[in-house]
Structure 1
Amino acid sequence: MKKIFTLVFAVALLLGCTSKKEETVDEKTGINLIEVSQLAEDMKKDNTVVVDARSYDEYNGWDIDGSGVEGHIPGALSVPRSAVNEKNLDAILKRKEVSSEDSIVLYGGEASELAQLMEEKGYSVSLLDGGAKAWAEAGNTLDFLQNKSMIVPVSWVKDLMEGKEVSDYDGRPVKIINAGWDETGEAHKKGHIPGSYWAHLGWVEEGPLWNRVSDEKIKAEMERMGITKDTLLLLYGKDQTPAARFGIIARYMGVEDVRLINGGLKAWEAAGYPMETEYVEPEAVEYFGADKPMNPNLIIDLPEAVEYLKDGESDLVSIRSWKEYKGETSGYDYIKARGRIKGSKWGMGGSDPWHLEDYRAMDEAHMRPYTELAQMWQGLKIDTKHNLAFYCGTGWRASEVWFYAQAMGVDTTSIYDGGWKEWSTTEETKDAYLRGEPEKLNEESFLD
């Protein structure tokens, strides 16, 4: 009888263990599942990496699927499943400093698919049971982009256009602007977000310095395009830099609510949303709502740029390629001088004047995860408590970075409108430049 009891107990114990094992693996992939409490303990270990497989917008704090989750697990890396394939996975993880030595925990709607792909590549992976929702329901906090409403998802724009109730909207009139460099609007006619209007950057900036036009002309252009200071201005483009350039000029003039559509036209197309090709002129308004710039400090000019370099509490931050910063190239066929503004700091940029990879996600369309930007600035010794004026060649790249900084809550920011073009061609500053690789990056002084 004792032997029978022992046998029954052993079988029951074995069945219990088997059942428990089945409960702790993902049914679809067979990958291990861990509970929130276990993750909280594992995160104390140096080799534990948490990966958020949802969209960039959900990582920023947008509740796309209506689950009530607004943000990401603190410390998690953003690796959207939609942005990953077998060919680019290793490059993405290398950029985020993830190695096969790490213990990787994934969560999000398509996390199991990403985990399976990573496991096939030799990474050690598991899945968080219940994802970010379970994390929050256990009483844990979520992190999010501080001013996320400045960088809106394409899905939010589509819902707004369809008259659906959306968050972070107060009911004001809306204008959607597709911006670029094309006076005829041919680019717009090839396909755009329905209901959006074309903006040629030549209407708000002019040569030879490519600074903004006069305040009177900016006001007149806003009125011609039907924009007032009370308009919600949503901006996008095939490339986001001209959209941001138009946006900061509008914000400088006084438009109260100006936002970038995250991912621009590329994200809209990738979502499979409808497109239009008809070119429609906006209906003009009689009065913008102000006669002079309401936010003049958002754009600084040469005298202020010089003072920034002298006062010890401000910095000019170069958003240019490393070759431009070192003076190997000017970057433009219409800028002869090569080098950097003496005393300015390098804030990274991209491979050339026409790309901004360091500030964009791997798809080169969406904003790069803000946590990575903050880490990048910290490594570059850029003090976000200082007054920061971003500059580039003539203002486009700097404007996009300004939007990201504002969204991150770094609000003491502006752009130096003239940038390298103005600095290098103005008599009083053209000789105040440096060339070559700095001995100590971002420790040079204008006053030396």
Structure 2
Amino acid sequence: MKKLFVILALILGIVGCGSKVKESKNKIVKEGSISVKEVQKAGEDENIVVMDTRSYDEYNGWDLKGNGINGHIPGAVNYPTSAIKDADLEIALERKGISVGDEIIIYGEESETMKNILIEKGYTVSIFDGGVEEWAEESLSFEKLKRYETIVPVSWVKDLLEGEKVNHYDGRPVKVFNVGWSENGEPHKKGHIPESYWMHTGWIEEGPVWNRVSDMKIKAEMERQGITTDTLVLIYGDPMAAARFGVIAKYAGVEDVRMINGGLKAWKDAGYPVETEMKNPEPVKEFGASVPQNPELIIDLPEAVELLKAEDGDLISIRSWREYLGKISGYDYIKPRGRIMGSKWGMAGSDPWHLEDYRDMDQFHMRPYTEIQKMWEGLKIDPENHLAFYCGTGWRASEVWFYAQAMGLERISVYDGGWKEWSETKETKKKFLKGEPKVLNEESFID
């Protein structure tokens, strides 16, 4: 048990949590506002943190105010003032690598509110009043999520559905899907985004392994749902289930699939109306292409074995720590316990039904991508390699795939069969490990 805590402490230390308090080189934080030059200087000191209190979407790169600004000040962490209500403040800040000994410079929405709350908790805080607008006036560069347009704000969705002109839309037909596990759509009947349809994941995957259905069935399901290769497909609901459908749609050949950041919770928080009426999409006669158009997005067991042998490939386990160690299988329908030999642990969440390590504190928005990047760095996950994510049967792995593609990773896949297939297949079921690794994420696959 002691070794477990040492391993986790090392990971968290690298990604920013549990950081040691050091003496600041430059005292920047002060009464009153600070200048652009002082914000630039802050980047030289590891104990001075720049915090962006705007929305997750603006931080990612969306220009929601129409001021031509895409992204955030380089090096800034993201903690929207509106997100304070979603979780314990100290826990949220620790996840972002901020401790009481740090000095914090904040900019963005309701900065004064955030400052007062932080000061009350014992943090040292100052405000950069100029924010992104002054930063832009100085012709300084911004950072952003590389493919931020694939993770869309609810305000953008609302404008699009109401016929307003929106950025990053080329006029193609639109279908919105609320995705989860329920053949009769009970979650959908309780309230959904207007004009959205219910998608039961049981229509695109099947037991006993819970891999995707056949290519022929995928094509037929796309057509039944009124989807062609040219359709803009917007997904929300259970984020894991939505991503599972999204990856399969991309695999089939749908050109444009996007996730609604924050889903129904964000929609309701914005005060937008919901519907309860169930509607079925009008089917189309032809999907528009043979399936799959993008076969590389999903790999099966033979490809997973080859990836483990490759010098530039990694199989990434998106499972809880207890699942990874083999303490539990995580599912009542999966008996074997352990991890695929040679795979790397990519973190996940508390159990098979949660993915806290990849979502922000409200559990519906994508975690700020800069935090995911730091987490992967600490886990020795090389984004230049071919990464195939796996979990028990594909849901958690699909959600991480969706975030990885938004981060601009090109060589990424989902290993569809996951732990269930691997652990129950004659050729591979003995190729597994249990217990704490001697060195995390440096185990080898032995053929």
Mapped to 2, the partners of 1:268 and 1:254 lie a distance apart of 28
Post-superposition CA distance 1:318-366 (Å, at most 9, x none) = 0000000000000000000000000000000000000000000011110
Mapped to 1, the partners of 2:42 and 2:226 lie a distance apart of 55
Q: Does the CA contact (< 8 Å) of 1:344 and 1:444 recur in 2?
A: yes
Partner of 1:373: 372
Mapped to 2, the partners of 1:357 and 1:31 lie a distance apart of 36
Match of 1:33, SS? coil
In structure 2, relative to structure 1, the CA distance for the partners of 1:83 and 1:31 (3 Å cut) is: farther
Partner of 1:325: 324
Following TM superposition, by how much is the alpha carbon of 1:129 offset from its aligned partner in structure 2, in angstroms?
Answer: 2.1
Runs (5+) with no aligned partner, structure 1: 1-29
In structure 2, relative to structure 1, the CA distance for the partners of 1:187 and 1:389 (3 Å cut) is: same
Written as runs of structure 1 = structure 2, the 5 A alignment for 1:32-431 is: 32-85=32-85, 88-237=88-237, 239-431=238-430
Mapped to 1, the partners of 2:274 and 2:120 lie a distance apart of 38
Match of 1:168, SS? coil
Mapped to 1, the partners of 2:199 and 2:86 lie a distance apart of 38
Structure of higher CA gyration radius? 1
Mapped to 2, the partners of 1:208 and 1:222 lie a distance apart of 22
Mapped to 2, the partners of 1:276 and 1:214 lie a distance apart of 33
Which structure carries more relative contact order (alpha carbon 8 Å, separation 6+)? 2
Q: Does the CA contact (< 8 Å) of 1:31 and 1:116 recur in 2?
A: no
Mapped to 1, the partners of 2:41 and 2:75 lie a distance apart of 14
Partner of 1:432: 431
Mapped to 2, the partners of 1:208 and 1:430 lie a distance apart of 16
Mapped to 2, the partners of 1:444 and 1:42 lie a distance apart of 39
Match of 1:84, SS? helix
Q: Does the CA contact (< 8 Å) of 1:36 and 1:129 recur in 2?
A: no
Query: In terms of mean alpha carbon deviation, does 109-118 or 343-352 score higher?
Result: 109-118
Q: Does the CA contact (< 8 Å) of 1:340 and 1:433 recur in 2?
A: yes
Post-superposition CA distance 1:26-45 (Å, at most 9, x none) = xxxx9521111222223322
Mapped to 2, the partners of 1:282 and 1:106 lie a distance apart of 46
Mapped to 2, the partners of 1:261 and 1:168 lie a distance apart of 14
Match of 2:199, SS? strand
Match of 2:377, SS? helix
Q: List 4+ stretches of structure 1 deviating above 3 A.
A: none
In structure 2, relative to structure 1, the CA distance for the partners of 1:63 and 1:224 (3 Å cut) is: same
Query: In terms of mean alpha carbon deviation, does 82-91 or 331-340 score higher?
Result: 82-91
Following TM superposition, by how much is the alpha carbon of 1:116 offset from its aligned partner in structure 2, in angstroms?
Answer: 1.1
**What is the identity, as a one-letter code, of the residue corresponding to 2:378?**
G
In structure 2, relative to structure 1, the CA distance for the partners of 1:395 and 1:417 (3 Å cut) is: same
Q: Does the CA contact (< 8 Å) of 2:42 and 2:49 recur in 1?
A: no
**What is the identity, as a one-letter code, of the residue corresponding to 1:248?**
V
The percent of aligned pairs where both chains have the same amino acid is 64
Q: Does the CA contact (< 8 Å) of 2:212 and 2:416 recur in 1?
A: yes
In structure 2, relative to structure 1, the CA distance for the partners of 1:166 and 1:325 (3 Å cut) is: same
Runs (5+) with no aligned partner, structure 2: 1-29
Partner of 1:13: none
Q: What TM-score, normalized by structure 1, do the two folds share?
A: 0.92
Q: What TM-score, normalized by structure 2, do the two folds share?
A: 0.92
Following TM superposition, by how much is the alpha carbon of 1:87 offset from its aligned partner in structure 2, in angstroms?
Answer: 6.9
Mapped to 2, the partners of 1:89 and 1:68 lie a distance apart of 31
Following TM superposition, by how much is the alpha carbon of 1:63 offset from its aligned partner in structure 2, in angstroms?
Answer: 1.1
Match of 1:354, SS? coil
Mapped to 2, the partners of 1:335 and 1:428 lie a distance apart of 17
Following TM superposition, by how much is the alpha carbon of 1:110 offset from its aligned partner in structure 2, in angstroms?
Answer: 1.2
In structure 2, relative to structure 1, the CA distance for the partners of 1:87 and 1:232 (3 Å cut) is: closer
Q: Does the CA contact (< 8 Å) of 2:69 and 2:132 recur in 1?
A: yes
In structure 2, relative to structure 1, the CA distance for the partners of 1:179 and 1:85 (3 Å cut) is: closer
Match of 1:221, SS? helix
